[in-house]
Amino acid sequence: MAGLQPRRRRDHRRCRDARLDLRLRRRARSGEGRRRRAGGGRPPGPVSDRPLVVWRDEHLAVVDKPAGLLVHPAPGNPGPSLVGELGDLLGGGEDPVRPGIVHRLDRDTSGLLVVARTAEAHKALSAMIADRQVTRQYSALVEGCPASRTGTIDAPLGRDHRAPERVVVGGRRPRPAITHFEVVERLAREALLRIRLETGRTHQIRAHLQAIGNPIVGDPQYGSGRRYGLDRQFLHSALLAFRHPFTGEALELRSGLPADLAAALESARRR
């Protein structure tokens, strides 16, 4: 546990209530290489309960998942899923329950994810994600505000001994987890964050933000109450950027906030 203790240095500072090592880093310079922004600027998020295919070719697709939809069927929860909705669009992988799936979003998290259409694409995309070659950026509204404008939460996550459906810092069988954040807007009671995943553990963003004392608004499982009319956590996968594994084309896909999150943000701004 020694590695979780905060350290004070000239270029480092502690986030409020943190027992984690929050290494503050300068924001990476944007625009490294020229990326093709598929689909133009930032379109609004999905307005239906069905996934929207925003980009595809014969190898892969990028879809905008609405909140409330599972990525794939789960034990004890066989309800509607992205896999069921997309059907033959997906392909590849060894698990027949989740063909084409190379990363996931929680049921109540909306936004972009990339899926494979062939076995070759599944293998290539899985390797790219493991090698951290896919940029995954999220928008989140959190309670309070982190003490620093930018930061990195580097703290292993494992299953909570008391509640196995949750993950916590230093839980059972912890695995490395790294989350970068930037404060985009400070509000009266909350802050809007831009978040970038370096790893992709289950519930990583939700658990890491709770651990530094800033749980995501609307996420009772990780310490926040319902508010602003939301019936789910304020977390949206807003950007995916990667180089196409077969053509080499630089792709950047964006998704704006869905209507429920946009309305909640406006309500928070009016407080």
Strands 167-169 and 178-186, sheet pairing: unpaired
Is 95 noted as a catalytic residue in this protein? no
CA separation for the pair 103, 40 (Å, rounded): 24
The dihedral through the CA atoms of 221, 225, 230, 231 has a sign that is positive
Contact criterion met (CB below 8 Å) for 82 and 110: no
Query: In 3-state terms, what secondary structure has residue 205?
Result: helix
Q: Where are the beta strands (DSSP E) in 155-215?
A: 157-159, 167-169, 172-175, 178-186, 190-197
- DSSP states of 75-127: TTB---BHHHHHGGG---SS-TTSTTBSS---TT-EEEEEEESSHHHHHHHHH
CA separation for the pair 217, 78 (Å, rounded): 27
- Enter the tokens of residue 153: 């939460």
Which of 21, 49, 106, 131 is labelled catalytic? 106
- Give the active site residues: 106
